[in-house]
Amino acid sequence: MDAFSSMIIEAVEKTKNAVVKIDVFKRDKNNVLRPAGSGSGFIFSSDGLVFTNSHVVDGAEKIMVSLLNENEIEGFLIGKDPDTDLAILKIYSEGYSVAKLGDAQQLQIGQFVIAIGNPYGYQHTVTTGVVSALGRTLQTQSGRLVDNVIQSDAALNPGNSGGPMITTDGEVIGVNTAMIQGAQGLSFSVDINTAKEIAQQLLKDGKVFKAYLGLMLQEVNINPKIKQHYNLKNKKGLFITKIQENSPASRSQLQEGDIIISFHNKAINSSHELFKELSKKDIVTMIDISVIRHTELLNFAIFPSDH
């Protein structure tokens, strides 16, 4: 067998036993529990915590989790965050393996990635592709903005939604979501670093706090000459692709096309770094934001809201 195929098979082998199928049941008008959809998920901690998509378990009255060894057990919803399409379940069982979480900050455009799903319960599906964009903000069908999305061309079918996106080392760098209808042939995953932060908030408070700016962003490299001229510490910045109407950003002096390089007096290299700032409770006040506009460095004030 060729080396490339062996590498993929090995990576999948490391992760596949942590990938689960999730079946959701809801009551019909006769109060009978009926199947109401399914998706994938993966176990990410030794005490049986499972990542999946929020939309997969939305409104569920009973959740069943199938492991690759054909054990089917009940899953209990710990919390969900529709804004990132993430949910956490807990299972009480033994004999499962745990996926190894990687660091999405190390990802590079052009890097090879593998999406794993478990739409059938007794076997997994695998698709491959390359990372085509990082740190994107995308809009879901319901109009919500999902930040910090990894874009790749690994094909995703709805049954794979909630499964892991892994590197060739078998480390999880994203949670696949089929909620975002993008251009054809693209798939999207929520960055695992953001997913970890959300997991912490859900486990601690049962909900997620994130202040709102109303920006659609895309991570970009900063022109070396501009970096040198202003003596910037940043490797990257966040390019504003769109400003939502009636949002804190629309009431500030920010413009589409600006590149955010600092927020709250901290250099911002990634959507994840911005997310960390916005998840602090004391951020709902006047905040300094610095941008590059064409070749100028500008400083503005913005008032994040806790919508």
Residues with a catalytic annotation lie at 55, 85, 161
249 Cβ contact list (under 8 Å, min separation 6)? 213, 214, 215, 240, 243, 302
Q: How far apart are the first and last CA of the chain?
A: 54
58 Cβ contact list (under 8 Å, min separation 6)? 80, 82
Phi and psi, residue 89, nearest 5° = -115, 160
What's the alpha-carbon Rg for the chain, to the nearest Å?
20
Nearest CA to 138 out of 192, 84, 209, 95 is that of 84
Distances (CA, A) of 248 to 193, 211, 282, 305: 25, 10, 16, 7
Six token digits for residue 78: 């710990």
Distances (CA, A) of 23 to 14, 56, 134: 24, 9, 31
Query: How far is residue 163 CA from its own chain's centroid?
Result: 11
Distance separating alpha carbons of residues 93 and 222, to the nearest angstrom: 48
Distances (CA, A) of 7 to 151, 176, 256, 292: 22, 21, 42, 41
Residue pair 91/18 in contact (Cβ under 8 Å)? The answer is no
Residue pair 166/116 in contact (Cβ under 8 Å)? The answer is yes
